[in-house]
Every structure is written in structure tokens, then in C-alpha cells.
């Protein structure tokens, strides 16, 4: 199994959001086996993710309260997940 992610291929132009090929879905990062977790690491299965409206500002490169998302960066988001395996004493 692989850990999917969405990355920004290039900054969108005026055709966005009708044309959304500025994003790329990647699955090149394998999900670690529970035995390979290091101390204090946890393996979480993502259940929900949120795509915030401000993402449009972040991918444009405009100044914001955080640094812009650059090409080849994963799109940040908040999410809800389920802890599948843990090597952390609190989880």
C-alpha cells in the first residue's frame, strides 16, 4: 500500500478552477509496516480531510499569513484520522 498525496505541479492561471491539471495525485510513498515504526511514532488512517477556501490564495503565491505553497509541495489540510498502530506511550 502507498500513502497518497496531492501536490501542486505549477501555479494555476486564470483558467483555474475550470482547468485543474495544476494538481498531481501521487502514490510514491509506501505506508510503513507497524513493525517499522520508531519510538513515539503513530500510524494514522485518514478518515476525512478538509480543503480550505484559503488554499486558493496559498497556491497562487500571494502573500498570506503563511508561506505560499510551491510547486512540488503537498497541499496542506486538516483532517480526522484513526490511530491504527502506535509506539507512543500516550496513544
Position 43 scores a pLDDT of 93
49-89 pLDDT, tens per residue?
Answer: 998 899 999 999 998 898 999 999 999 899 999 999 999 99
What predicted TM-score, i.e. pTM, was given to this entire model? Answer: 0.72
Question: For residues 48 and 80, what is the distance between their CA atoms, to the nearest angstrom?
Answer: 5
Q: Distance of alpha carbon 51 from its chain centroid, rounded?
A: 10
Count the residues in the chain.
91
Are 2 and 28 contacting, i.e. CB atoms less than 8 angstroms apart?
Answer: yes
Q: How confident is the model at residue 17 (pLDDT cuts 50, 70, 90)?
A: confident
Amino acid at each position: 500500500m502507498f500513502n497518497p498525496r496531492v501536490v501542486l505541479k505549477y501555479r494555476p492561471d486564470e483558467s483555474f478552477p475550470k482547468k485543474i491539471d495544476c494538481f498531481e495525485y501521487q502514490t510514491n510513498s509506501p505506508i510503513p509496516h507497524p513493525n517499522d515504526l520508531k519510538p513515539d511514532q503513530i500510524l494514522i488512517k485518514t478518515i476525512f480531510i478538509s480543503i480550505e477556501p484559503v488554499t486558493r490564495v496559498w497556491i497562487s503565491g500571494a502573500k498570506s499569513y503563511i508561506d505560499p505553497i510551491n510547486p512540488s509541495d503537498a497541499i496542506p489540510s486538516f483532517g480526522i484520522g484513526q490511530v491504527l498502530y502506535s509506539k507512543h506511550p500516550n496513544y
